[in-house]
Amino acid sequence: MVGRSSLPEGSLFLGFDSSTQSLKATVLNNELIVVASEIVNFDSELAHYKTQGGVYRDPSDDGHIFSPTIMWVEAFELLLEKLKPKISFSKVVAVSGSGQQHGSVYWKKGSHAVLSSLDPSKTLVSQLKDAFSTMDSPIWMDSSTTKQCREIENAVGGALELSKLTGSRAYERYTGPQIRKIYQTAPHVYEDTERISLVSSFMASILVGNYASIDETDGAGMNLMDINQRTWSKTALEATAPGLEEKLGKLAPAYAVAGRISPYFVERLQFEKNCLVIQWSGDNPNSLAGLTLNTPGDLAISLGTSDTVFGITTEAKPSLEGHVFPNPVEPDGYMVMLCYKNGSLTREDVRNRCAEKSWDVFNGYLEKTPPLNDGKLGFYYRDHEILPPLPVGFHRYTVENFNDATSNNLVEREVEEFDPPSEVRAIVEGQLLSMRGHAERFGMPNPPKRIIATGGASSNERILHSIAQIFGCPVFTVQRPDSASLGAALRAAHGWLCNEEGSFVPISCMYKGNLEKTSLGAKLAVAAGEGVEDKELLQKYTVLMRKRMEIEKRLVEKIGRAQAHGLLDFSSSSLSSCSPPRNLARALLFAGDLLRSNCGDLLRSQLLHYHLSAAKELSRAQVDCVATAATHNVNAYGQKEEGLTRRGRKVCISPPSRTQQLKDPKQKKPAVSASYHFENPVPEKESKLMKENMDEIYKKSARERVRGSIVQTESSVTSSTYSSGSSLSYSSSESEDKKQKHKRKQKKRRHQRDNSTSSTSFASDSASHTDSNGKCGRKMSLKNWKNTMWMPNMMFLLLSWSSWRHKSHLFAQRNDIIGELMVASHSQDERWSA
């Protein structure tokens, strides 16, 4: 058996971790002791990218979250420079790494030639800045691919069949649905891509100066790999996008050699030319290696940006819940995992709101409040949650009759808020109860022999104490919380050893019998309670966990899977917090999505009635205008509405976002962009009809505003009229269309005589008003006003006013409004607030 002494004397093993918020490095010596570490924080050290938490959130596309690819390249260069004074790169004999799972990078055609001939006298950023077909990399936090998930599942025979095939049902964050979305929405990007890498294989590619393979463990997080055969699944590939296998390259075992280090790093940083680059893998698989998790009865809980629970097993048993991956350090084994999107950032949010932004106050509240929190249960979703599939929102319940916790007579009552100490305990206990409930359902050991905690929050003793109470087992912690980069360094040593032996060698051979003398040993943090009171407390937590799972199930059923997977969150609070025009747009958009969703009939009718009530006083013209804006989250002329810019400034109307411009160059200039849904589609006729309808709406609205009148309500929009047919679901006959066109022509002739006089009067009135207030230095004719690009935006805003302000009040302030809009129309700043 190979011993630990087989590692060469004086050698170093370098491990990286490319995570969501930072890039870390850990260096092990031949005794497996950490001798150096370093980190680059994206937000603070690369502030010019203006990321928040290392990511961008696209305000124009709900759930679309991504990171700038080139930022990772620059961070890699900076990290190596920070390591340079600490170690001699010439002593590094092997390098490996960890990458946030599911994230993807798209290499442009011709980029391989650039990658393989990097100039050591130039920076990586300067040479690779044009190497990508899209500069934005979708990451694991993205939840915008629900449509693609359902399409892939349907193509392979359903969610369970896909899970049996690839190890997981289709999840929005998984790489396969993300690739399909790009193929559908940005075909030019997909066509111009010669290689698709995961974050892990992308970083490895830079190190070897060649396209590195995707390793089998990280490849299982794509919905594309056959989990049993460990090859690309033809069925899954065909369901995702054409020609995909060629763009993905081959798979490789996690312990395999990706190649020797690129001459670029040999000359620039004095790496040894024979330094091996071992296959990079995902962050969770690397954490499994770094925690030396090798006993089936053990569980690991990683408390980071995302919270994960994982263990090991000898056979794959995929289900509709959780994930199965090949074990990165045991070729014949598997790792099972549960993933929660709302981790440390959600805990920090509660800390900031309730604990004076102080972890000391937060921990004081945890110590002050009793276990079980007097039956208070909280569900906290700062982002769309993965498990369970619930949208953004907080839900709080008080469980009554909890004094007799062994009975089944517990009754929950929903409440608006908790006091700050209870809120703090509710977020911690709520997350841990969910972990325990889903872990047991997935078949993980109950209770576990032990839990090894890692991640940033694993240093919090109060949270560790809650883990021990809720799971009823001892909790261990490792010497270092950065288990992913530590595991990557350990895997670098393991890969080097396997390469030396010419075959796979068990990773435990490197530390067996000497674990406590290395940096890998885990120490007991909290012992399991053995007393009668401890056992009674565990029993009560078991009852509370079951009650939580019941409430969670009802929440999913109540809200509906369509909304839960990220269509939009339209609670009454979110509607009331938006500007009135946006409320109506969102209500109408949600109504259209709801009519086409697969949620229950009762739920559909209830939500449809609720949200359309916000628009019940709109005229048909207003309905069409707002529906046009809602359809693609734009106003009538293709400009993005509402949301936070990357600098955090609130914007209601702005030009198309950079992401949208990359996806569709035509959007660089404002253009009408509307999408309607027909029950009996006839594309040519519908396109013509919609164009005529919208053109006439704008003309009619302009004439009515010119005469100084307020648009009158033509017809009330109710839930019944929308369920049978509305501007979002046209099904009228051609005869009705002809009648409408005839009426429009009659109105046009009737108002034609008034236009000349009205326009003169309007221009005079408006110019006089703006001159008197010093806002506009010249008169503006109706013709000039109509020709300006702001005409449709003004109409959109003016029409929206009548839905939320009393008409007489609006009429009295007509001149003020028009004067302000005229000034805005000549402003150089193309952003204004409604």
| Residue range 667-725, pLDDT digits in tens | 444 433 333 333 334 444 444 554 455 455 445 444 444 444 333 333 333 333 333 33
CATH code, domain with 528: 3.30.420.40
Least confident of 172-181, 302-311, 586-595, 708-717: 708-717
Q: Are residues 667 and 732 in the same domain?
A: yes
- For residue 399, how many other CB atoms are within 10 A of its CB? 21
pLDDT of residue 113: 97
Q: Is residue 375, in this structure, part of any structural domain at all?
A: yes
Q: Is residue 601, in this structure, part of any structural domain at all?
A: no
Q: How far is CA 204 from CA 18, 278, 398, 622, in A?
A: 11, 8, 50, 54
pLDDT of residue 696: 53
pLDDT of residue 92: 98
Least confident of 232-241, 422-431, 798-807: 798-807
Q: How many structural domains is the chain composed of?
A: 2
- Strands 56-57 and 251-252, by their bridges, are unpaired
| Sequence-ordered list of residues with C-beta below 8 angstroms from that of 475, at least 6 positions apart, any chain | 450, 451, 452, 453, 464, 467, 468, 524, 525, 526
- Under the banding of pLDDT at 50, 70 and 90, the label for residue 654 is very low
This model's pTM is above 0.75: no
pLDDT at 151 over 60: yes
Q: Are residues 532 and 630 in the same domain?
A: no
Sign of the dihedral defined by the CA atoms of residues 597, 598, 601, 607, in that order:
negative
| Sequence-ordered list of residues with C-beta below 8 angstroms from that of 792, at least 6 positions apart, any chain | 635, 636, 637, 698
pLDDT at 576 over 70: no
Q: Are residues 519 and 645 in the same domain?
A: no
Of the CA atoms within 13 Å of residue 669, those in its CB half-sphere come to 2
pLDDT higher at 581 or 748: 748
pLDDT tens-digit map of 171-230: 999 999 999 999 999 999 999 999 999 999 999 999 999 999 999 999 999 999 999 999
Q: Is residue 550, in this structure, part of any structural domain at all?
A: yes
Q: Please, are residues 552 and 434 in contact by the beta-carbon 8 Å criterion?
A: yes
Least confident of 23-37, 51-65, 225-239: 51-65
pLDDT at 395 over 50: yes
Average pLDDT for residues 89-113, to the nearest whole number? Answer: 97
pLDDT of residue 501: 93
- Under the banding of pLDDT at 50, 70 and 90, the label for residue 351 is very high
Range of the domain at 408: 307-479+515-559
Q: Are residues 641 and 772 in the same domain?
A: yes
499-513, 694-708, 805-819: which is most confident: 499-513
Average pLDDT for residues 795-804, to the nearest whole number? Answer: 43
Q: Are residues 691 and 787 in the same domain?
A: yes
**Residues of the chain with pLDDT > 90: what percent?**
56
Tokens for 114? 């650039």
Q: How wide is the angle at C-alpha 28 spanned by C-alphas 26 and 34, nearest 5°?
A: 70
pLDDT of residue 516: 86
- Under the banding of pLDDT at 50, 70 and 90, the label for residue 8 is very high
Q: Is residue 618, in this structure, part of any structural domain at all?
A: yes
pLDDT of residue 710: 33
pLDDT of residue 740: 64
Q: Are residues 525 and 632 in the same domain?
A: no
Average pLDDT for residues 559-570, to the nearest whole number? Answer: 45
Q: Are residues 548 and 627 in the same domain?
A: no
pLDDT of residue 748: 62
Q: What are phi and psi of 358, to 5 degrees?
A: -125, 130
Q: Is residue 704, in this structure, part of any structural domain at all?
A: yes
pLDDT of residue 804: 41
pLDDT higher at 601 or 336: 336
pLDDT of residue 513: 83
Across the chain, mean pLDDT equals 77
Q: Is residue 805, in this structure, part of any structural domain at all?
A: yes
pLDDT of residue 316: 84
pLDDT at 35 over 80: yes
Least confident of 80-94, 468-482, 699-713: 699-713
- Strands 92-99 and 276-278, by their bridges, are parallel
Average pLDDT for residues 85-91, to the nearest whole number? Answer: 97
DSSP 8-class letter at 130:
T
Least confident of 47-51, 589-593, 690-694, 811-815: 811-815
Q: Are residues 652 and 791 in the same domain?
A: yes
Chain centre to alpha carbon of residue 132: 21
pLDDT of residue 512: 85
Give the length of the chain: 834
Q: Are residues 356 and 442 in the same domain?
A: yes
- Under the banding of pLDDT at 50, 70 and 90, the label for residue 140 is very high
Q: Are residues 662 and 546 in the same domain?
A: no
pLDDT higher at 389 or 263: 263
pLDDT at 773 over 80: no
pLDDT at 430 over 50: yes
The torsion of the CA quartet 259, 261, 263, 268, rounded to 10 degrees, works out to 170
Q: Is residue 302, in this structure, part of any structural domain at all?
A: no
Q: Please, are residues 212 and 280 in contact by the beta-carbon 8 Å criterion?
A: yes
Which has the closest alpha carbon to 480: 526, 452, 519, 511?
519
pLDDT of residue 407: 54
To the nearest 10 degrees (0 to 180), the angle between helices 461-471 and 420-442 is 50
pLDDT tens-digit map of 434-473: 999 999 988 888 899 999 999 889 999 999 999 999 999 9
Q: Are residues 544 and 675 in the same domain?
A: no
Looking at this protein, which amino acid is placed at residue 338?
L
Which has the closest alpha carbon to 469: 423, 433, 441?
433
Q: Are residues 721 and 635 in the same domain?
A: yes
pLDDT at 352 over 80: yes
Q: Is residue 708, in this structure, part of any structural domain at all?
A: yes
- Under the banding of pLDDT at 50, 70 and 90, the label for residue 294 is confident
- Under the banding of pLDDT at 50, 70 and 90, the label for residue 760 is very low
Distance CA 338, CA 322 (A): 5
